[in-house]
Chains A and B, each alone.
Chain A
Amino acid sequence: MREVERLLRPSRVSAPAVVLLLALAALAAVACDDSGEGGEIDIDGSSTVYPITAAVAEEFDAVAGDVRVNVGFSGTGGGFEAFCAGETQISDASRPIRQDEIDACAQNGIDDILEIEVALDALTVMVHPDNDFVDCLTIEQLHEIFRTDGADNWSEVDANFSDRSIALYFPGTDSGTFDYFVETIIKDVDEAAFHRGDGTASEDDNVLAQGIGGDNDSIGYFGFAYFQDAGQSLKAVSIDAGEGCIAPSFESALDGSYPLSRPLFIYTRELFLAEHPENPVLRFVEFYLDNATVLVAEVGYVSLPADILQAQKDKIAPFLP
């Protein structure tokens, strides 16, 4: 009986499904990528730079509709990972590329990375609007607040501050904003120190803005564009890096006096630029720099000073026909 039953037992229950899946997978690997007539540019990386690149891509689409420009934001670190795996042609970054990332790229034969500055951002430190004792903080005080085992109480930062506990709000660890803060506030003051983890971390700056606004003892930081929009109800803290207290603003970021102003970047490969005109990357980057001044300001960032912008244009000049 058992034998008969086993002989009668159909053995390919999900055979059609398996065949369908295998066929789809096989053909997927064979079929060539159908991009727009003029090619396709995949861009990923920093969510801080994303609004600028998306604005440029939108305008570029109007003048070069045959080129597909796709923009995502998986964070500066995630962007470099995809870039070094050869999945993207341009990577948005809110900090310079790190040595370990350069090494990872080189392992995949990507050793012609070109760094292009596209805008300035002023990292803005904020407290609750009712906080009347913090107007200005030195780099050392910020370090004391945000390093591990740092101050738990405002009065530990400055004897004149109120005797209340500190609540921290900061961007997630995959963001370039976090990396930049770690570099300039934590590591530059004390190489052995770390950014503390006890606080509210979020990749969503709107969440940070809401958190800081809803907590009397809060302090947090994010990019200037968010401060202008979501953070308007918050109180920005001036920063003292030894030359007096400087408030974050377009002007102080542009003239370099604001200590926490930082450049924003896009990265690409010289190979892609040299492949012009088959590869649309050069057209896109040229368009990016030609329109950066207007579009950067439009989405709430600080446009590059003329001389620095010219230096970026000079980087791609050798590839232009």
Chain B
Amino acid sequence: MANQSIRLRAGGAVARRQLVSRASRYFFLGATVLGVSILLFLGYETIVTGASRLSLDFLTNYPSRFAEKAGLRPAMFGTFWLMLITIFTSIPIAIGTAIWIEEFAPRNRLMTIVKINLANLAGVPSIIYGILGLTIFVRFAGMDRSLLAGGFTLALMIIPMTVIASQEAIRQVPPSLRDGALALGATRWQAVRYNVLPNAIPGIMTGTILSISRAIGETAALLMIGGFTFIRFDPGPNLVDFADPAAFLAGLNESFTVIPIQIYAWSIDSRREFQANAAAAIIVLMVGVMALNLLAAVIRERFRRN
């Protein structure tokens, strides 16, 4: 009798554990299905609404008050140049900062404060970076509402995120690799250059791409620093400008608009037919982000193999 009750109790505990296990499995499956199906639904909605508007004309036309004539051309130029500026300014600084903090910086209270503040900065809303960019770059540095001012603002915005992601990647490199190099007489920099960085690059790339994907979709900060909506020229240097540094820089000093601003402008337009333009522009932006991700994956794989 006693025996039986013990067995029953044991069986109940096991059954409960197995039930919890099964339930958790369905819970996690449900969470995934919910997220993916919302994504699929939004993607489907966007493609259905926007596909009819996608055409070569849509990519090569300037904005217009007629929905069917309005195009994304200046916004695509603007996004391209803005991303180039953002990438070239933020990434060396961010990765450099991460390397210094992880490999060279002294471990003291000041550094702890710096690290905590980096994490806080990564969580600051983008509009705040917009106000900062407006004050520092547009007004104080006199850059006006230019591509450079916009690119620097976005660079400021994504540096904290990129630093944190890069730090994480550097920390994942086993200490034995670093110690081994140092033990063999390598300098700090040699150990970092030949042992730590090659192993950290895949992780750094992933973090960097996430940051850039955030920058490429940024609207609020750029509206704040004076990104325009209606522009009828191609922002940024022209092809012929590449031979002439002065003309090239003048190109970077031009006014701009970007794809997310254009999407915003079309989506709040009172005329219904502009919703299709907004959806088509979203498709273009998504393709751009996917292309960036693909590029990152390729680079990542190359470093893994080496």
Contact = CB atoms under 8 A, between A and B. Distances in A.
Given A9-B188, A204-B268, A230-B272, A34 B143 contact: no
Interface stretch (B45-53, B96-104, B209-217): B96-104
Contacts of A32: 250, 253
A58 B253 contact: no
Contacts of B265: 73
Contacts of B96: 13-14, 17
B269 A51 contact: yes
A34 B253 contact: yes
A91 B140 CA distance: 22
Interface in B246-274: 246-247, 249-255, 265, 267-272
Interface stretch (B24-32, B111-119, B169-177, B228-236): B228-236
B246 A31 contact: yes
A57 B223 contact: no
Contact of B255 (A40, A223, A225, A299): A40
B189 interface: yes
A58 B232 contact: yes
B294 interface: no
Given A29-B142, A300-B270, A54 B250 contact: no
A34 B254 CA distance: 7
B7 interface: no
A230 B96 CA distance: 50
Interface residues of A, number: 57
B104 A58 contact: no
Nearest to A227: B270
Given A29-B142, A51-B65, A87-B145, A13 B226 contact: no
Interface string A69-97: 11111100000001001010000000000
B65 A70 contact: no
A147 interface: no
A9 B100 CA distance: 11
A203 interface: yes
A28 B85 CA distance: 12
A25 B188 CA distance: 32
A204 B263 CA distance: 13
Scoring A9, A70, A230, A298 by chain B CB atoms within 10 A of each residue's CB, the highest score goes to: A70
A8 B193 CA distance: 14
B148 interface: yes
Nearest to B93: A17
A68 B233 CA distance: 7
B267 A206 contact: yes
Contact of B268 (A8, A47, A58, A300): A47
A205 B268 contact: yes
A5 interface: yes
A53 B63 CA distance: 13
B146 interface: yes
Contacts of B202: none
Interface string A48-63: 0011011101100100
A184 B92 CA distance: 54
B229 A71 contact: yes
Scoring B104, B226, B246, B252 by chain A CB atoms within 10 A of each residue's CB, the highest score goes to: B226
A24 B148 contact: yes
Given A58-B64, A61-B232, A225-B270, A82 B251 contact: no
A87 B65 CA distance: 25
B178 to A, nearest CB: 13
Contacts of A240: none
Contacts of A198: none
Contact of A50 (B88, B152, B229, B245): B229
A205 B89 contact: no
Contacts of A230: 270, 272
A31 B250 contact: yes
A10 interface: yes
A16 B187 contact: no
A179 interface: no
Contacts of B97: 14
A42 interface: yes
23 contacts: A9-B188, A10-B188, A17-B89, A17-B92, A21-B93, A24-B252, A28-B249, A31-B250, A44-B226, A44-B228, A50-B230, A51-B65, A54-B63, A68-B232, A70-B230, A71-B229, A71-B230, A82-B226, A87-B144, A206-B267, A206-B268, A225-B270, A226-B270
Given A13-B96, A87-B144, 4 more contacts: A50-B229, A50-B230, A54-B65, A57-B230
